Chains A and B, each alone.
Chain A
């Protein structure tokens, strides 16, 4: 009986711990947003961060986008050819990418590459007392360190997702039209007929913006909140990747239901 009480207690403890962290994260979010307006006067900070968060993620995004697009071309063809509908390959590839795979896979890759790097960097700055030193120099580390990184992630994600989708469509083209014999004209014309600017592209962009906020927020919070030891930083980095991945997938479901559900 005691062990049941113990498990219940630890569950409650974990639950309240979760809310505690969520509360701290929300307060941090508020402080970051408060620091954003001042950032537009400080371009060099932003440029540096967009470089390390966005530009350095380009390689993995482009390569992944290409491969995902090619696989979509392959698998899509295999399935459609049974219905005699292989000319619609362009539609399958484009819609899958623009609506779902572009925003979601980019967010997951981003969380793994840029998110974990952000957490590690900030966590290490905390562990080596650099954040503390800044505070003692009367410089708010949230405005100087966290806000630029947050804005950079928020700004980079939609661009990366668009690049992923565009490269994927081209990948599907290479496989479908180049290798499998789908008609060139049919690939693009069917796609253009069925992919809607408002419904699909805009919604995809909105998704990637939402994911950008979530992933960067979690990455920055975990770094700032990390226990300032090497073990603490490594655990925080892991948490960033796991939590942002789960949050992205969960949010994707909610957004998809809202955007693409039956009207």
Chain B
């Protein structure tokens, strides 16, 4: 095995390894939708954000237009403060856009869905979404359902 042949094989090996890493980064991971230059930040406050995480998706009309970048807590109003970065391309969001927290699929993870309002001026860096709907907590829903069921039952009996 000459030195030359060995070197060629090592070169092939390193190239294959780098190619594999590249493939993993490009085709397998979310690198392609990763570039966030020119994004702008907006905030929204929610009563309940259970399950929403940093890096959860922010969508409008089902299309992902940004990500949750920070989750905080307001000690005075006891609300959750969610900071989102919207990609720079999507800068025509009306100022009265509303935000709700949905679940992807039945047991899936939470994401923020934005619905456009009718305002003519657009959202800028640092703006706040006023209308929000917190995440649906399963237990509360079941509780509501049961109490409503019991109420109607009572009415029926009377």
Contacts and interface: CB of A to CB of B under 8 A. Distances in A.
Please determine if A and B sit in direct contact within the complex, based on CB atoms under 8 angstroms apart: yes
Interface of A: 44, 47-48, 50-51, 54-55, 58, 94, 98, 156, 158-160, 162-163, 165-167, 169, 188, 191-197, 200-201, 205
Contacts of B21: 158-159, 162, 166, 205
Interface of B: 3, 6-7, 9-10, 12-14, 16-21, 23-25, 27-34, 55
B17 A158 contact: yes
Contacts of B30: 192-197
Given A51-B9, A159-B14, A159-B18, A195 B29 contact: yes
A106 to B, nearest CB: 11
Contact of B25 (A159, A160, A169, A197): A197
Given A55-B9, A160-B17, 19 more contacts: A44-B3, A47-B10, A48-B6, A58-B13, A58-B16, A98-B28, A159-B14, A159-B17, A163-B16, A165-B28, A166-B24, A169-B27, A188-B27, A191-B28, A192-B32, A197-B30, A197-B31, A201-B29, A205-B21
A188 B33 CA distance: 14
The A contact surface, by secondary structure, is: helix
Contacts of A166: 19-21, 23-24, 28
B16 A159 contact: yes
Given A58-B16, A162-B17, A165-B20, A192 B6 contact: no
Nearest to B31: A197
